[in-house]
Amino acid sequence: MMTWSNLLLQDSNNPATEQLILFHNQTLVITMVITIFLIYLIMSSTYNKLCNRNMNENQLLETIWTIIPMFILILIAFPSINLLYLMDEITKPSLTIKVMGHQWYWTYEYSDFNNNEVSSYLKPSTNLMLSEYRLLEVNSQLMLPLEVMTRMIVSSDDVLHSWAIPSLGIKIDAVPGRLNQVGLYMERPGTFYGQCSEICGINHSFMPICIMSLPASDFLTQMMMLTK
């Protein structure tokens, strides 16, 4: 999760987010190189007293500074398009979970386990343990199995919401009357936090998302307990 004075992105927990962070770093390097080069040209043109009054145009130079930006844009565009398709791809999901946004809490329905449903409310500050985080803890966490492709179907019961977990690279709108879907593949165990990212009313800031990823055997045990 994000902490104080942290300038970098959160550690990823699925392959698509790893590729997204790598693409971000590559694009940032290209941007920094271009910025440094432009600053050098501006400083050089400002303080350089040499000039050629007879040179009004240079076709070769104009061709070069037209072609090079085009190649840079292509270099950025291809990985970006590839990532867009990768993040929308859901290949043979083994588990389907329905996420429903409400004012101001989330409900999770485990469709493959007798449609068991849990409601996830913000945990009051007075009930927090010493190691828990204020405004991020919930009374019922969403449990997901490790290394299992999971399909999340997201919708809303009232107004627009947005189900967002930065460490998973996910931000999907919850729209009333519409089903949006996204794939999840958890690579490591742990607890991951997010928040509603669409202004949905007076208590918009108080509907956090808390996901616990655990081994498949432990996940099945939790589902058995939930069924009982």
Over residues 21-33, the pLDDT tens digits come to: 899 999 999 999 9
Q: How confident is the model at residue 114 (pLDDT cuts 50, 70, 90)?
A: confident
pLDDT surpassing 80 at residue 51: no
Query: Taking all residues of the chain, what is their mean pLDDT, rounded to a whole number?
Result: 87
Least confident of 99-108, 124-133, 140-149, 156-165: 124-133
pTM, two decimal places: 0.80
**Domain covering 95-227 in this structure, CATH number:** 2.60.40.420
pLDDT surpassing 70 at residue 98: yes
Cα separation, 192 vs 113, whole angstroms: 23
pLDDT surpassing 70 at residue 1: no
Cα separation, 127 vs 211, whole angstroms: 19
pLDDT surpassing 80 at residue 54: no
Residue 77, sorted as left (phi over 0), alpha (psi -120 to 50) or beta, turns out to be alpha
The pLDDT, as a whole number, for residue 86 is 82
The pLDDT, as a whole number, for residue 228 is 64
Q: How confident is the model at residue 109 (pLDDT cuts 50, 70, 90)?
A: very high
Domain 15-48+57-88 has CATH 3.40.30.10: no
Strand pairing partners for 206? none
Strand pairing partners for 161? 174
Residue type for position 127:
N
The ranges of the chain annotated as CATH 2.60.40.420 are: 95-227
Cα separation, 217 vs 222, whole angstroms: 9
pLDDT surpassing 90 at residue 156: yes
The pLDDT, as a whole number, for residue 175 is 93
Higher pLDDT, 35 or 126: 35
The pLDDT, as a whole number, for residue 2 is 60
Residue type for position 88:
D
| Helix 15-47 × helix 59-88 angle, to 10° | 160
Q: Do the bridges between strand 170-174 and strand 180-184 make them parallel or antiparallel, or are there none, so unpaired?
A: unpaired
The ranges of the chain annotated as CATH 1.10.287.90 are: 15-48+57-88
The pLDDT, as a whole number, for residue 10 is 81
Q: Dihedral sign, CA of 178, 184, 189, 193?
A: negative
174 Cβ contact list (under 8 Å, min separation 6): 99, 100, 101, 154, 155, 156, 160, 161, 162, 163, 180, 198
Q: For the chain, how long is the longest CA-to-CA vector?
A: 88
